[in-house]
Amino acid sequence: MQRRNILARALGASVLAALVAPGLAWADRLDDIKKAGVLRVAAFDGNPPFGFIDAQSKQQVGHDIDLARAFAQSLGVKLELIPTNPANRIPLITSGKADVVFASFTITDERAKVVDFSTPYFLVGQQFLARKGVLTSVEQVKTLRVGTEKGTTMESNLRTNFPDAKVVLYDDSPFALAALRNGNVQAISNDGVKLTAQWNQLPDKDKYEIPPITVSKEYLGAAVPKGEARLLETLNSWLLDIERSGQAVAIYNQWFGPQSQAPLPRLLKIGEQRVAAR
């Protein structure tokens, strides 16, 4: 009798597991987000105008913040912002601490091995900011101390294209800018959008310039954990929707339009480029 009871309980557990298993198989990050009612987004807090702390409100604001907030609203959940610097973007995703990264994230083959990228929503080019007259030709780059953010495509591009240059690494772009202003480096390199925003905020802007030297084109996208197909599909569909509705343009113009502090022509319509050009 006892043996029959044990077998019956085991059989019952097996049946229960079989009934529950299909539900477990369908559970994924998108389900977790909706169940928790919160979308956790890693975003910059020191890289205007993509993400930074507003001096008056003391809140995290910027282009990517507005995208993150709009995406959370489309899911019907609250937004939790997780401040990050460039080097921590992937660890926040792979450790499960963030659901999505909206942080001026360049799409690369190497990064795509560990995270999944959305369709690109922004196109920029890597450039330089230096004191006037210091950098007038691309040949001069190899003779300079150039500051940039560690763990970024800016760093790898500099090392690949200018192996003789002295590349000095910083945790975030404000530190690199401070190094330029106090003379620790002779130029800094970043995407043209960030450099334009930083340049426009300098009290002695007339002493600096962004020379017409471009290192590369960078397609930016949001990132999600590897293999989260439903979350990625939902994100991509939403990006196309806000392009069609005009919301993407409105957010862009808020931070990069003619009346903004970092005016920049919009080079990419969402959906025109599905993956980064290599």
For residue range 3-58, list pLDDT tens digits in order: 344 334 433 433 343 343 443 444 599 999 999 999 999 999 999 999 999 999 99
- Say whether both 105 and 130 belong to one domain: no
The string of pLDDT tens digits covering residues 211-247 is 888 888 889 999 999 999 999 999 999 999 999 999 9
Q: Is there a single domain that holds both residue 79 and residue 141?
A: no
Asked if residue 93 and residue 55 are part of one domain, the reply reads yes
Would residue 78 count as lying in a domain?
A: yes
CB-CB neighbours of 54 under 10 Å: 12
Same domain, 46 and 131: no
Instruction: Report the domain count for the chain.
Output: 2
CATH number of the domain where residue 144 is located: 3.40.190.10
Residues 6 or more apart whose CB falls under 8 angstroms from that of 81 comprise 41, 43, 60, 65, 68
Crossing angle, helix 229-245 and helix 247-256, to 10 degrees?
80
The parent domain of residue 161 ranges over 124-217
* Interaxial angle between packed helices 63-75 and 229-245, expressed in degrees from 0 to 180 and rounded to the nearest 10: 110
